[in-house]
Amino acid sequence: MKAKARAHANIALIKYWGKEDEELSIPNNSSLSLTLEAFYTETEVEFSELISEDEFYLDNRKDDITLLKVSKFLDLFRDRLNIKTRAIVKSINYVPTAAGLASSASAFAALAAAANKASGLNLNDKALSTFARKGSGSATRSIYGGIVEWQKGDSDQTSYAIEIDDANWDIGMVVVLVNSNEKKISSTKAMKQTVLTSPYYPSWVKDSEKDLIDIKAAIKDRDIRKIGEISERNALKMHATMLAAKPPIMYFEPNSILVIQIVQQLREKGIAAYFTMDAGPNVKILCKLSDANTIKEDLLKSFDKKDIIVTKVGPKVQII
Ligand code: PMV
């Protein structure tokens, strides 16, 4: 009745932004991501007849606020098994929480895998990704390593992720931590506001489906420049859509723009570097892994060493 799992964060190259079904967390568009080795969550779940309430500890501290979400998530397993047993959940995040680094992705993927094992439900990866989805949309993709596509589907069972490439080639990311504080507006709230008020939202959905087709062709060719161009523009389109919401949603900070300018200069020097940003000010640079240290050197002129993280592609969720 006890198991521990490790899941890695992922960064979307084709973003998911906006839900078709809030309750089931079914998105309006399919998305595609790269799983990262450097950022992950380890979570232990122990079901016990000796306790009458769930307990949740994040980074060794009791966290009664997140507990509500954790309990609701564990109910998915309890309902399926028709049990009432409560659980003690201990989670360690090796990701700056809620800073647009997809901590919720690794968190819910690890929780799903640990609960799956501890409860004995033994779902396969595909079904596990539908469970993770209900914790956090991007967690759907963190069940897998490499390059992952989340096919939007149109029901609980058909909205899941699959690995489309092991990414065992020269590809990586440089992550620049601009600000690791909690984000100002949660992705859930920001998405809703965008869907309801941005005049550009329908174009976002339409364009992202085309971006997905194009990026999959570029991935097949291992064409890092094409992959980078498509993902950079996809991120800008997502942010442009949010900027047009009412009230507007803006995750850029001055230092985010500084990183973007450095990336553009690197490209003028012939280095294949492309930026992407999520629901936070941090910037992730997609590049050849073999160029990552050159890119880091350049960033060191403006940023602290501890705020620049080079990472290769990460593996799928594991029981540890
Ligand atoms: O996983 P959520 O529901 O917090 O949404 C994440 C949304 C983005 O990170 C901005 C994009 C994505 O596809 O991961």
> For the chain, what are the domain ranges?
2-167, 172-311
Take atom 8 of ligand 1 and give the residue whose Cα is closest. Answer: 278
pLDDT at 94: 87
Counting as low any pLDDT under 70, the low residues of the chain are 96-102, 182-183
For residue 278, the CA-to-ligand 1 centroid distance in Å is 7
pLDDT at 96: 59
Cis peptide before 199 (omega within 30 of 0): no
For residue 29, the CA-to-ligand 1 centroid distance in Å is 12
DSSP 66-78: HHHHHHHHHHHHH
As a CATH number, domain 172-311 is 3.30.70.890
pLDDT at 179: 82
Which residues are CB-contacts of 269 (< 8 A; sequence separation ≥ 6)?
none
pLDDT at 95: 73
pLDDT digits (tens, 9 = 90+) for 24-65: 999 999 999 999 999 999 999 999 999 999 999 999 999 999
pLDDT at 74: 98
CA distance 215 to 211: 6
pLDDT at 101: 65
Three-state DSSP class for 269?
coil
- Report which residue type is found at 188: T
pLDDT at 99: 47
Instruction: Decide the pairing of beta strands 26-27 and 31-48.
Output: unpaired
What is the position in ligand 1's atom list of the atom closest to the CA of 14?
A: 13
> Looking at the domain 2-167, which fold is it?
Ribosomal Protein S5; domain 2 (3.30.230)
Which residues are CB-contacts of 73 (< 8 A; sequence separation ≥ 6)?
108, 111, 112, 115, 134, 135
Residues with CB under 6 A from ligand 1: 12, 15-16, 31, 102, 104-105, 136-138, 187-188, 278-279
Three-state DSSP class for 298?
helix
For residue 191, the CA-to-ligand 1 centroid distance in Å is 9
pLDDT digits (tens, 9 = 90+) for 63-96: 999 999 999 999 999 999 999 999 999 999 987 5
Global confidence as pTM = 0.96
Which residues are CB-contacts of 11 (< 8 A; sequence separation ≥ 6)?
33, 34, 36, 101, 102, 173, 276, 278, 284
For residue 27, the CA-to-ligand 1 centroid distance in Å is 10
pLDDT at 102: 56
Among 47, 31, 52, 45, CA closest to 3: 45
pLDDT at 182: 66
Q: Are 214 and 320 in contact (CB under 8 A)?
A: no
